[in-house]
Structure 1
């Protein structure tokens, strides 16, 4: 059975690119355009093995989203990769403190993303 990855980004085109890379690698992908919608998706999905999230999004940013995810017992151990244009070390530290496990910059390199995913995805 394929592992499920939630991709959270307000850019439709970026979600499509990430989904293409992940589905070609054999993963199932679900998508949300902001943190609030992503939390709702998590409630409806049986198991998410990894989350890829942007930082800067409307309604709920990536750091607030990760903070919420890590407070939920069902998703407490779900690994999160931040994929963002944000390169401020303060944001990186906030994301790490919230529970993010990796930080990749856009534009992303598909092999680099797949390498991070393969190392962090839950069994």
Structure 2
């Protein structure tokens, strides 16, 4: 059972993030787009944190976040966007949805360890 679900359509980015988090003691699972992420979150109630890209095929990260809150009715899981987007309108939409945080790529692992541990209750 995973503590963190990493959702990104880039295999390379998923592997970088997942590998770093595993090396630092997190249980991690991964999904290749928002639709896959939504499905995995519905199947695994132990996930405490979703780290997601925004721009993905099939279902983008913000739509997935909306569906986590509405269709799954999950207000407990923390959602952090890890994206190249740094658009104020997107950030406002994310905040209205209930997204917990926003990280602009490139991924700097050391900077997220403390916050991620706190969000996972570690």
With structure 1 as the length reference, what TM-score do the two structures score? 0.90
1:26 aligned onto 2:25? yes
1:53-105 alpha-carbon deviations (Å, 9 max, x no partner): 111111111110000011223x3210011100001111111111111111001
How many residues align? The count is 121
User: Whole-Å Cα distance in 1 between the matches of residues 113 and 57 of structure 2?
Assistant: 26
Comparing 112-121 with 35-44, greater Cα deviation is found at 112-121
* Structure 1, unaligned runs of 5 or more: none
SS in 2 for 1:52: strand
User: Whole-Å Cα distance in 2 between the matches of residues 84 and 122 of structure 1?
Assistant: 24
The answer (yes or no) to whether the contact 1:55–1:62 under 8 Å persists in 2 is yes
SS in 1 for 2:5: strand
User: Whole-Å Cα distance in 2 between the matches of residues 18 and 59 of structure 1?
Assistant: 21
Structure 1 segment 87-98 matched on structure 2, within 5 A: 87-98=86-97
* Structure 2, unaligned runs of 5 or more: none
Deviation at 1:114, TM superposition (A): 1.6
Match in the other structure for 1:106: 105
